Amino acid sequence: MRPEILFPLFAPARTLPGIGPRLEKLVERLAGPKVVDLLWHLPSGLIDRRRRPKIAEARDGEIATMEVTVGLHIPPRLKRLPYRVHVSDETGEMQLIFFNARADYLAKTLPEGAQRIVSGRVEFYQGAPQMTHPDHIVGPEELAALPLLEPIYPLTAGLPLKSLQKAIRSALPSLPDLPEWQNGPWLKANGWAGWRVSVQSAHEPQSAADIAPDAAPRARLAYDELLANQLALGLVRARMKKRPGRSIAGDGRLRRKVEEALPFALTDAQARSLSEIEADMKAPHRMLRLLQGDVGSGKTVVALLAMLNAVEAGFQAAMMAPTEILARQHHASLAPLCEAAGVKLALLTGREKGKPREEILGALADGSIDILVGTHALFQEDVAFNALALAVVDEQHRFGVHQRLLLTSKGGPGTDVLVMTATPIPRTLTLTAYGDMDVSKLDEKPPGRKPVDTRALPLDRLDEIVAGLPRALARGAQIYWVCPLVEESDEVDAAAAEERYKHLRSVFGDIVGLVHGRMKPIDKDAVMARFAAGEIKVLVATTVIEVGVNVPSATVMVIEHAERFGLAQLHQLRGRVGRGTGKSSCLLLYQTPLGETAEARIKIMRETEDGFRIAEEDLRLRGAGELLGTRQSGLPAFRIADLETQKELLAAAHDDARMIVERDPELESERGRALRTLLYLFERDEAIRYLRSG
């Protein structure tokens, strides 16, 4: 339960002055529905009204606060002309300009002969100073109340800055004094103040430097946010790990058979990852491990050997892929190896229905199936395992965290989990999204891979490229031809691909195939199978081939409108070639003129094939939220922290959280109790439920 001290912060934003029913919705969309959401909505700039020039000293374009005597009012002769009010001081004259003015209002606020303080932007018109719609007009006695420094906030259409300022300003004085959850020495070393003072200072910038992310108050709040994130993940992880898992240690007999059947030896990275996985499985707690490996790094065989470890020990294993094509491909590539080892493998997707499905479910429940490969059909309610010990989730970023947990529930809370991702997630994001997992890395490609020759060409040379294809075909090359994501619509994509398909087919005949997201799964599979068998030489495709598809004999990748793809996507696509022993190439066809970001992306693609570097660059070009699609990936979106500029803070928060979980796993010490408040403050209530006395 949320501590009472936080109640005022979680009150609806509409309880603040300045936010009525009309603005409430805008504020909610902009920042969030609660007072605390507004506190996290930090200024993006500042208006400095401290300059107090005389009229003769005023400079064009500057914000100034000036004391003046009101002179003549000059109402407009025509409605569209402005209302003018002459003002003066001992050094000169100026005009105040009002469009669509209400004369009675101006007569009241600017009575002739009165002293007034006006603040706003001075502009020179035909050599004379004027101020259009001053931001503030007050009497000299009200000067003290005039905000000389005003924070500027990111806004949304229809929400006036003044209303937002007023609401936030009014929330600041009554902020509760929260118990300090940060370490004293750490605060001191950074020169950070307590939470309340930091929030206040963050909203009361005194100079442009105070708007920067490294300004002390902002850095402190960012660190609070990162620590809440890391601590929550750390607590969940500690709890999951403590779940008594099974100790699984097979005798190696099946693994030996499969390794003998493999046409290659494991790379060092594969062997290392496998032994890390085996050590986790053997330990009496549950495994939560991420297997990170660039496209083509050979994750599948690592997963298979891990699953065989479970089977040797008398248990079952499951592997979940994000698409039908991938599930079938995994099944097809595992089948001969499983057969060689005498292991019973089955496939379950949405397409298995009726009697065959019943049979699979029966065999799964009585334990005669050892390894089940499938799509998310695996977590339907009627799917029951006999003794599931290991769940492997492939291409994790396509699944939400929720689904990940659902599958593990099939085997009870102790089921070991191995998540595989081909998207090389930068370290920063791994920490925030998977801080709860251990990581094994396949940072070495299988031997014999040749670099992919990557070139960029303008689209208007398409005919030349088509004319060059016969040469590649004569060499025995197979070609992927990828058409872009035109819109977020399968239908439109399919149309573009269909058109290119017709075009290429008219040139090359029936060695051209087509696969896109609108086709029936069974038809897609048939096309992929014909491509894999070499009957189809040129495969026109949309991004359905992006993830995981493996046809080693394909050596040419053409990507049309490469400028429309993200870096990660381009990298994934290029990863489809360069898998066999032949020399591979990738042609990026782009539409001119090329935008700055697109140009940077293409440049990076030409410079490197290192997925981790590409992911870092992608993060830099796109920002963290967009990288994987925040919602899909279950990545947290930070309100205050900026992962790009505050990586060091994240690393520190990670270490800090780790130490807290080690020393005070139930958050019972004085700092621990304060940290509970921090978790509630950042709405990580879920993590608190993992505490014994939560």
- Interface residues toward ligand ADP, by CB under 6 A: 264, 266-267, 270, 293, 295-301, 422, 446, 548, 550, 552, 579
Nearest residue relative to ligand ADP (C-beta): 298
Consecutive H or E run containing 455: strand 453-458
Task: Give the type of residue at 340.
Answer: A
Residue 552 interacts, among ligand ADP, Mg ion, none and using kind-specific CB cut-offs from 5 to 8 Å, with: ligand ADP
Angle between helices 253-261 and 299-312 (to 10 degrees): 150
Q: Quick one: 40 or 399, whose CB is closer to Mg ion?
A: 399
* H runs (alpha helix) in 533-681: 567-574, 596-607, 611-622, 624-628, 630-633, 647-663, 670-681
Residue 301 interacts, among Mg ion, ligand ADP, none and using kind-specific CB cut-offs from 5 to 8 Å, with: ligand ADP
We find the least distance from the C-beta atom of residue 335 to Mg ion, in angstroms, to be 16
Secondary structure in 3-state letters for 110-159: CCCCCEEEEEEEEEEECCEEEEECCCEEECHHHHHHCCCEEEECCCCCCC
Residue in 18, 245, 548, 611 binding Mg ion, rule: CB under 5 A: 548
- Told to check if 322 binds Mg ion by CB under 5 A, we report no
Comparing C-alpha atoms, which of 538, 553, 543, 559 is closest to residue 584? 553
Residue for token pair 């206040």: 200
Task: Tell me which stretch binds Mg ion (CB under 5 A): 53-61, 139-147, 476-484, 545-553.
Answer: 545-553
In order of 51, 56, 291, 690, the CA distances from 92 in angstroms are: 17, 6, 74, 70
Listed as own residue / partner, the contacts of 592-595 with beta carbons closer than 8 Å and 24 or more positions apart are: 592/458, 592/459, 592/460, 594/563, 595/563
We find the least distance from the C-beta atom of residue 434 to ligand ADP, in angstroms, to be 17
String of DSSP letters for 215-257: SHHHHHHHHHHHHHHHHHHHHHHHHHHHSB-------SHHHHH
The set of residues, in sequence order, having a beta carbon less than 8 Å from that of 582 and lying 6+ positions away, is: 450, 476, 477, 553, 555
We find the least distance from the C-beta atom of residue 211 to ligand ADP, in angstroms, to be 44
Residue for token pair 């396949």: 442
Consecutive H or E run containing 276: helix 268-282
We find the least distance from the C-beta atom of residue 449 to ligand ADP, in angstroms, to be 8
Comparing C-alpha atoms, which of 428, 442, 449, 201 is closest to residue 305? 442
Nearest residue relative to Mg ion (C-beta): 548
Beta pairing partners, 181: none
Residue 182 interacts, among ligand ADP, Mg ion, none and using kind-specific CB cut-offs from 5 to 8 Å, with: none
* H runs (alpha helix) in 459-557: 462-474, 490-508, 521-532
Consecutive H or E run containing 292: strand 288-293
We find the least distance from the C-beta atom of residue 266 to ligand ADP, in angstroms, to be 5
Comparing C-alpha atoms, which of 554, 602, 552, 537 is closest to residue 296? 552
We find the least distance from the C-beta atom of residue 299 to Mg ion, in angstroms, to be 5
Q: Quick one: 205 or 293, whose CB is closer to ligand ADP?
A: 293
Comparing C-alpha atoms, which of 396, 415, 385, 418 is closest to residue 326? 396
We find the least distance from the C-beta atom of residue 9 to Mg ion, in angstroms, to be 45
We find the least distance from the C-beta atom of residue 333 to Mg ion, in angstroms, to be 9
Comparing C-alpha atoms, which of 121, 248, 171, 149 is closest to residue 17? 171
Residue 432 interacts, among Mg ion, ligand ADP, none and using kind-specific CB cut-offs from 5 to 8 Å, with: none
Residue pair 440/292 in contact by the 8 Å Cβ criterion? yes
Q: Quick one: 64 or 422, whose CB is closer to ligand ADP?
A: 422
- Coil, helix or strand for 93? strand
Q: Quick one: 398 or 537, whose CB is closer to Mg ion?
A: 398
Q: Quick one: 267 or 646, whose CB is closer to ligand ADP?
A: 267
We find the least distance from the C-beta atom of residue 257 to ligand ADP, in angstroms, to be 17
Residue 165 interacts, among ligand ADP, Mg ion, none and using kind-specific CB cut-offs from 5 to 8 Å, with: none
Q: Quick one: 432 or 569, whose CB is closer to ligand ADP?
A: 569
Q: Quick one: 328 or 676, whose CB is closer to ligand ADP?
A: 328
Q: Quick one: 422 or 649, whose CB is closer to ligand ADP?
A: 422
Q: Quick one: 191 or 447, whose CB is closer to ligand ADP?
A: 447
We find the least distance from the C-beta atom of residue 303 to ligand ADP, in angstroms, to be 8
Residue 266 interacts, among ligand ADP, Mg ion, none and using kind-specific CB cut-offs from 5 to 8 Å, with: ligand ADP
We find the least distance from the C-beta atom of residue 323 to Mg ion, in angstroms, to be 11
Q: Quick one: 151 or 548, whose CB is closer to Mg ion?
A: 548
Comparing C-alpha atoms, which of 351, 345, 339 is closest to residue 525? 351
Task: Tell me which stretch binds Mg ion (CB under 5 A): 343-351, 385-393, 410-418, 544-552.
Answer: 544-552
Phi-psi group of 250: left, alpha or beta (phi > 0 → left; psi -120 to 50 → alpha; rest → beta) = beta
Distance of alpha carbon 346 from alpha carbon 327, whole angstroms: 11
Residue 295 interacts, among Mg ion, ligand ADP, none and using kind-specific CB cut-offs from 5 to 8 Å, with: ligand ADP
We find the least distance from the C-beta atom of residue 480 to Mg ion, in angstroms, to be 16
Q: Quick one: 548 or 611, whose CB is closer to Mg ion?
A: 548
Beta pairing partners, 588: 456, 559
Q: Quick one: 299 or 328, whose CB is closer to ligand ADP?
A: 299
Residue 446 interacts, among ligand ADP, Mg ion, none and using kind-specific CB cut-offs from 5 to 8 Å, with: ligand ADP
Site residues for Mg ion per CB under 5 A? 548
